[in-house]
Amino acid sequence: MEDAKLSLEIHTDLARQILVDFIRTEIQRAGFTRAVVGLSGGLDSAVACYLAAEALGPANVLAVRMPYKTSSAESLEHAHQVVEATGAEESTIPITEMVDAHFARFPDADTVRRGNVMARARMIVLYDQSAARRGLVVGTGNKTEILLGYTTLFGDAACAINPLGDLYKTQLRQLARALGLPDAILAKPPSAELWLGQTDEGELGFTYAEVDRLLLLLVDGRYTPQACVEEGFDRGFVEKVAERIRRNQFKRMSPPIAKLSNRTVGYDFLYLRDWGT
Range of the domain at 166: 12-201
Cα–Cα dist 20/25, whole Å? 9
Find out whether 135 and 15 touch, Cβ atoms under 8 Å: no
Average pLDDT over residues 230-242: 96
Cα–Cα dist 23/42, whole Å? 20
Within-domain flag for 141? yes
Instruction: Please give the pLDDT value at position 5.
Output: 78
pLDDT digits (tens, 9 = 90+) for 11-53: 999 999 999 999 999 999 999 999 999 999 999 999 999 999 9
Average pLDDT over residues 209-226: 97
Q: For residue 126, give the CATH number of its domain.
A: 3.40.50.620
Please tell me whether residue 27 adopts helix, strand or coil conformation: helix
pLDDT over threshold 80, residue 197 = no
Within-domain flag for 250? no
Enclosing H/E stretch for 218: none
Instruction: Please give the pLDDT value at position 202.
Output: 80
Total domain count for the chain?
1
Instruction: Please give the pLDDT value at position 194.
Output: 66
Q: Average per-residue pLDDT in the chain?
A: 93
pLDDT digits (tens, 9 = 90+) for 142-169: 999 999 999 999 999 999 999 999 999 9
Within-domain flag for 161? yes
Write the single-letter amino acid at 134.
R
Find out whether 90 and 165 touch, Cβ atoms under 8 Å: no
Instruction: Please give the pLDDT value at position 10.
Output: 97
Within-domain flag for 40? yes
Within-domain flag for 103? yes
Within-domain flag for 4? no
Instruction: Please give the pLDDT value at position 272.
Output: 72
Query: DSSP string spanning 135-192?
Result: EEEBP---HHHHHHT-S-TTTTT--SB-SSTTS-HHHHHHHHHHHT--HHHHHSPP--
pLDDT over threshold 90, residue 94 = yes
Cα–Cα dist 258/262, whole Å? 12
Instruction: Please give the pLDDT value at position 1.
Output: 44
Within-domain flag for 248? no
Within-domain flag for 128? yes
